[in-house]
């Protein structure tokens, strides 16, 4: 992994560009991190090129698979009854995409696109105020806004009159973001695959790129599963409270929102860290999908979000692409 000490932002981009070009020439795999995109530098990118990259980003199956799993339905999840003043039975969120922002950074033949999506959402909690009931008697709704970011790397491969033929998508990062609170977040995600006993640990989702270059091995290979493969997902969460928070995984939905599944991860450990707490949640389950590309969406919620009808929605979200073949 390239971690040279460079103070000038343009030098960082040039270094990353050089790596991408070397991968293009020699066909080897590399795991270089992309630079943090804080500058919208479109001076070397024509309007036609910007439109082409935007269209390619929105049409990519990895990118497009996120929203059908971020938006949920009432039948996706069940929570067991507990001895709390408010007892949740079902939780699901409905989100509407309200805005997209495209920020381009270009150096030489490389172009980074930072895609920012803003959502208006409603968290629905089917609950009961009476612990003796066996079914919900009310639905609590909480409005929230969330912002999610992913990055894409493109390489210029030609100079034809059609810009759609001039660029190839090399890599797409994971999705990361959530509601505007900084004291509650996902620190890391570890995936353990039973079929080949391999493990992937991710700590920086928007700099963890999934290879989309086909002929060019750049970034990480997209996690692949066969039908009914077993995977264990372990999630580390930074929380301000000692209460057990909630982490759910929504996955399997196609572009039409069909075949969606949802599971709740189990708390396996908790320890104090500074003024807050580090919690580890884990779940092992079978991948039961049709063939193709999908996104698994991790949603972490504070306990107050679910059990306190007056608490705001504090959530953090990661999107994890995978392929079933």
Average pLDDT score over the chain:
80
Residue 132 predicted with pLDDT over 70: no
Burial class (CB in 10 A: 0-12, 13-18, 19+), 47: exposed
Which comes out higher in pLDDT, residue 218 or 322? 322
Q: What are the tens digits of pLDDT across the range 30-59?
A: 333 344 444 444 557 899 999 999 999 999
**Element (DSSP H or E) covering residue 23:** helix 9-26
d(CA 190, CA 208): 13
Phi–psi pair at 278, nearest 5 degrees:
-105, 120
CA 294 vs CA 231, 233, 251: distances in Å: 15, 16, 7
d(CA 218, CA 168): 12
> What is the mean pLDDT of the segment spanning 84-109?
84
Q: What's the CATH fold of domain 9-324?
A: Coagulation Factor XIII; Chain A, domain 1 (2.70.50)
d(CA 235, CA 224): 19
Q: What are the tens digits of pLDDT across the range 201-256?
A: 999 999 999 988 766 667 788 888 887 788 899 999 999 988 889 999 998 777 66
d(CA 33, CA 204): 9
CB 236 within 8 A of CB 203: no
Q: In this predicted structure, what is the pLDDT of residue 318?
A: 97
Residue 15 predicted with pLDDT over 60: no
Q: In this predicted structure, what is the pLDDT of residue 11?
A: 36
d(CA 223, CA 322): 5
């Amino acid at each position: 992994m390239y971690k040279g000490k460079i103070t000038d932002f343009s030098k960082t981009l040039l270094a990353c560009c050089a790596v991408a070009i070397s991968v293009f020439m020699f066909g080897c795999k590399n795991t270089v991190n992309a630079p943090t995109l804080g500058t919208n530098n479109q001076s070397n990118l024509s309007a036609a090129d910007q439109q082409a990259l935007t269209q390619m980003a929105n049409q990519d199956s990895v990118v497009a698979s996120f929203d059908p799993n971020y938006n949920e339905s009432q039948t996706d999840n069940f929570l067991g009854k507990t001895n709390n003043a408010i007892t949740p039975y079902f939780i699901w969120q409905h989100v509407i995409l309200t805005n997209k922002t495209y920020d381009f950074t270009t150096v030489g033949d490389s172009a980074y696109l930072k895609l920012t999506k803003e959502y208006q959402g409603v968290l629905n909690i089917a609950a009961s105020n009476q612990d003796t009931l066996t079914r919900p008697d009310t639905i609590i709704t909480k409005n929230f806004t969330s912002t999610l970011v992913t990055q894409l790397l493109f390489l210029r491969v030609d100079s034809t009159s059609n810009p759609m033929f001039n660029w190839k998508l090399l890599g797409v990062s994971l999705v990361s973001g959530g509601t505007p609170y900084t004291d509650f977040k996902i620190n890391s995600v570890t995936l353990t695959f039973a079929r080949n006993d391999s493990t992937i640990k991710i700590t920086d989702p928007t700099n963890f790129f999934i290879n989309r270059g086909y002929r060019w091995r750049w970034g990480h290979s997209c996690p692949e599963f066969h039908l009914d493969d077993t995977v264990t997902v372990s999630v580390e969460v930074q929380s301000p409270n000692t209460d057990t928070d909630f982490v759910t995984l929504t996955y399997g939905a196609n572009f039409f929102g069909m075949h969606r599944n949802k599971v709740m991860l189990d708390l396996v450990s908790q320890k104090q860290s500074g003024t807050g707490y580090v919690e580890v949640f884990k779940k092992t389950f079978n991948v039961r999908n049709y063939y193709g590309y999908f996104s698994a969406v991790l949603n972490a919620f504070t306990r107050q979000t679910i059990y306190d009808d007056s608490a705001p929605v504090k959530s953090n979200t990661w999107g994890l692409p995978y392929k079933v073949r």
